[in-house]
Amino acid sequence: MKVVCYLIFFLLSVSSINAQIIRGKVLSKTNLTPLPGANVYWKNENKGTSTNANGQFEMEAIKLPAQLIASFVGFRNDTLRIDDDQIKDVIFYLEESILLKEVEVSAEQSSTFMSMRPAIPIEHITSKELKKAACCNLSESFETNASVDVAVTDAVSGGKKIQMLGLDGIYTQILFENMPFLRGLSSSYGLNFVPGTWVESMQITKGSGSVVNGYESMAGQINIEFLKPEEHEKIFVNLYANHQSRYEANVHLAQKISKKISNLLFLHANTVQSKTDMNQDGFYDMPFSNQLNLFNRWNINTEKWESKSGIKVMWDDRISGQTHFNKNVEQKFQNAYGIGVNNQLAEAFTKNGFLFPNKPNKSIGTIVNGKIHRQEMFFGNRRYSGTEQNVNANLIHQSMLGNTFHTLKLGGSFVFDEYNEKYNDSLFNRTEMVPGTFAEYTYNDEIKFSVVAGIRADWHNLFGFRFTPRLHLKYNILKETILRMSIGRGFRVANLFIENSSVFASARNVIIKTPIMPEDAINTGGSLLHKFTFLGREASFVADYFYTTFLNQVVIDLDYHPQQVWFYNLNGASYSHSTQTEINFFAFEKFEIKMAYKFYSVESTYNGILQAKPLVPKHRILVGFSYTTFNEKWKFDASANYFGKSRLPNTSTNPNVYKRNHYSIPYTLAHLQITKIFKHIETYLGGENLLNFIQPNAIIAPNDPFGNYFDASMMWAPVNGRMVYGGIRFKIK
């Protein structure tokens, strides 16, 4: 630790000695409002920067006196002479330019990109990327993304979960505009509760995230930004259908009530009435389902106060099972095997920011969100019911220390969780209360070196004090090449049943061996990002490596006995090695190519034996193509995902007919979408799993679902075959 501190001190000292820094801001001359994203650069020099959200900039000075230029789209350039005594408080006042009849500026930019500026590596997924697939819900938003994997939980319920760094999605903190999201009872089916058309963009962070957002991030963070009222069209409609009898409708209604108040109403409904059994195992490939989803959000913006509030209600019901199961008759009155999952969810949030116009680097923010979630499930004769009541509160104070190189965030948080669960005849109830405090310091000269150092101290009413330190470093090797490194700790309390609901879809006896303790992990890693020009167009290359080691983990042991699942605390090693390389470039104008390769080595100790975690392929490859015609009337998007083999759970003591191989087989999924763009309407037609790959023998003993060997949880590939879909988007500005 001393070595790290000395290194940071040395780099800061060198930075301050060798570089004279000029600071200032760029304002509109008409109303004195800041101009974020304005370009500031030295005349006749290849050195410059851009302004932040408050219109401020900092940059390294050259030999003075010299001329400094500020430019912004729609404004006239301004030039100032800078002398040695004028390096602070430089202010540009830009005048709006006289507009010609029409000026169109176009540039090719990747629909996903890594930001060069922050010390924490953030991958941005734009709305352009999200439209490359049908994107009916959040679980289908990552088909063209290499950092996040989506896996099917079982062969009967339609549940999906994400994976990052080769680890289950429960170790990735999912946020909605920096508020906790999709945790607790939402862990298993929550990805299906977020319609894709609601999402404006996503930011993906690998490794430990910011301490400001909580203590639960171990593998990474995914922050979801929903569409904003003040930026949205007045009316937006999206209709979707596929040949497997899935239908969806989305309606967005935006209203600008005044200059300061705006409102956006989201309405969503979907239904699936498919009766397909492509692998002919006697079970429906997709559940019958119905969902209604409503979300209403309000934004208020004044000079000194910003407020964002909203309320969301959702009802989701799905029925599946054997093809002769009667969904209108209770399970106990029939011999067929059935599955039923019902979710009822209500959420509310309010975010308030208090601004200080005379101190643009100072702000105070409050965040409060809460939810009530009820879930009822049955898998054959197994029953589960759960209720979750949750409240999260956060207070954040941000200020500048001396100059904009140094920023400090201080705050406190409080988490309340009450769970009332029943599995068969056993009750599992608990109440968690976690008050905490945090501090995060940021040093950023935007030219060579940046640091984000944070620490949390939280007191858990059931498990005592927990300390969560995290450190992020960024070094600009060259102007377009940066190196990032990070180390951080995270902890979480597991929800055994709902986070492992796939176990319900089997005849395995559930055995909880010891009192379960919180999961605790340390994540270290780094990434190299290089941006370059290829055939005169922008391109990027990124390579990263992350190592996650668990100090404690809840082990889900499927190998000890094929008819049992054991839950117990880790006794030995458990870790994940994740390596990824990715390149994005334009082969020619309007034609973008993305290629990525991932290698996972994920191992844990099962009953004293260190072995690979089941159902996690070591090798994955993604190739994506995107082409837009020159008149931007047609778009073509295609992707292919290759999945290598993965270890399967032990079935050695099963009868021969119910045994499975030790490893799965490699396979490839291919997707294609074509979009036609009119003035107010977009139509799209596409296909998923075009190679029609289906996991063979996905269910063990499908002919005897109430017997000892039934198991529908050993999923490593889809059970749905080729699917063709189409839809229409309509908007009025």
Strands 172-176 and 179-180, bridge-based pairing: antiparallel
Percent of the chain predicted with pLDDT > 70: 94
605, two tokens:
């100790």
CATH 2.60.40.1120 fits 22-94, yes or no: yes
Is 700's pLDDT higher than 80? yes
Residue 675 has a pLDDT of 96
Taking the C-alpha atoms of residue 382 and residue 340, their distance in angstroms, rounded to an integer, is 10
Is 103's pLDDT higher than 90? no
521, two tokens:
């992990």
Mean pLDDT, rounded, for 619-623? 98
Residue 98 has a pLDDT of 44
Kindly state which CATH superfamily the domain 224-732 is placed in: TonB-dependent receptor, beta-barrel domain (2.40.170.20)
Query: Going by C-beta distance under 8 Å and a sequence separation of 6 or more, which residues neighbour residue 488?
Result: 207, 208, 209, 217, 468, 469, 470, 471, 472, 522, 523
Residue 526 has a pLDDT of 97
Is 8's pLDDT higher than 70? no
Residue 15 has a pLDDT of 39
Residue 231 has a pLDDT of 83
Is 357's pLDDT higher than 70? yes
Mean pLDDT, rounded, for 384-405? 92
Query: Going by C-beta distance under 8 Å and a sequence separation of 6 or more, which residues neighbour residue 602?
Result: 166, 167, 575, 576, 577, 612, 613, 616
Taking the C-alpha atoms of residue 190 and residue 179, their distance in angstroms, rounded to an integer, is 15
Residue 366 has a pLDDT of 96
Taking the C-alpha atoms of residue 140 and residue 293, their distance in angstroms, rounded to an integer, is 17
Is 44's pLDDT higher than 80? no
Mean pLDDT, rounded, for 715-727? 94
Residue 686 has a pLDDT of 96
For residue 61, give Cα distances in angstroms to 65, 77, 83, 494: 10, 20, 10, 52
Taking the C-alpha atoms of residue 170 and residue 695, their distance in angstroms, rounded to an integer, is 25
Mean pLDDT, rounded, for 181-194? 92
Mean pLDDT, rounded, for 302-324? 94
Any idea which fold 112-223 has? Ferric Hydroxamate Uptake Protein; Chain A, domain 1 (2.170.130)
Residue 562 has a pLDDT of 92
Mean pLDDT, rounded, for 720-725? 94
User: What's the pLDDT band for 107 if we cut at 50, 70, 90?
Assistant: very low
Longest dimension (CA), the chain: 89
Secondary structure tally for the chain: helices H, strands E: 2, 42
For residue 358, give Cα distances in angstroms to 27, 63, 101, 151: 14, 31, 38, 50
With CA atoms as reference, report the closest residue to 389 among 346, 425, 426.
346
Sheet holding 179-180, edge to edge: 112-114, 123-125, 199-206, 220-226, 172-176, 179-180
* Rg (the chain; Cα; Å): 27
With CA atoms as reference, report the closest residue to 197 among 271, 127, 291, 256.
127
**What single letter denotes the amino acid at residue 248?**
E
pTM of the predicted model, to two decimals? 0.85
Is 517's pLDDT higher than 50? yes
Helix or strand run (H / E) with residue 220: strand 220-226
- Which residue is listed with tokens 């490593």? 716
Mean pLDDT, rounded, for 359-363? 77
- Which residue is listed with tokens 């923010």? 365
Mean pLDDT, rounded, for 558-582? 96
**What single letter denotes the amino acid at residue 267?**
L
Helix or strand run (H / E) with residue 5: helix 2-18
Q: How many CB atoms lie within 10 A of CB 576?
A: 25
Mean pLDDT, rounded, for 385-395? 97
Is 369's pLDDT higher than 50? yes
Is 18's pLDDT higher than 50? no
Is 131's pLDDT higher than 70? yes
Residue 71 has a pLDDT of 84
Q: Do 420 and 387 meet the contact criterion of CB atoms below 8 Å apart?
A: yes
Residue 613 DSSP class: P
Taking the C-alpha atoms of residue 148 and residue 164, their distance in angstroms, rounded to an integer, is 5
Q: Is 438 exposed, middle or buried (0-12, 13-18, 19+ CB in 10 A)?
A: buried
With CA atoms as reference, report the closest residue to 582 among 612, 622, 522.
622
Is 2's pLDDT higher than 50? no
Mean pLDDT, rounded, for 122-141? 85
Residue 300 has a pLDDT of 94
Mean pLDDT, rounded, for 631-650? 95
Give the range with max mean pLDDT: 251-260, 446-455, 573-582: 573-582
Average pLDDT, the chain: 90
Quick one: CA torsion of 140, 144, 147, 153, rounded to 10 degrees? 30
434, two tokens:
């976690």
User: What's the pLDDT band for 64 if we cut at 50, 70, 90?
Assistant: confident
For residue 560, give Cα distances in angstroms to 59, 291, 496, 652, 653: 60, 38, 18, 10, 11
Is 105's pLDDT higher than 90? no
Structural domain spans, the chain: 22-94, 112-223, 224-732
With CA atoms as reference, report the closest residue to 460 among 431, 432, 438.
432
Is 247's pLDDT higher than 50? yes
Residue 6 has a pLDDT of 41
Taking the C-alpha atoms of residue 618 and residue 580, their distance in angstroms, rounded to an integer, is 12
Q: Do 79 and 67 meet the contact criterion of CB atoms below 8 Å apart?
A: yes
Taking the C-alpha atoms of residue 132 and residue 493, their distance in angstroms, rounded to an integer, is 36
Tell how far CA 248 is from the center of its chain: 23
Q: Which residue has better confidence, 503 or 309?
A: 309
Residue 133 has a pLDDT of 77
Q: Do 142 and 135 meet the contact criterion of CB atoms below 8 Å apart?
A: no
Residue 539 has a pLDDT of 92
Is 68's pLDDT higher than 90? no
Mean pLDDT, rounded, for 531-546? 92
Strands 220-226 and 172-176, bridge-based pairing: parallel
Residue 202 has a pLDDT of 94
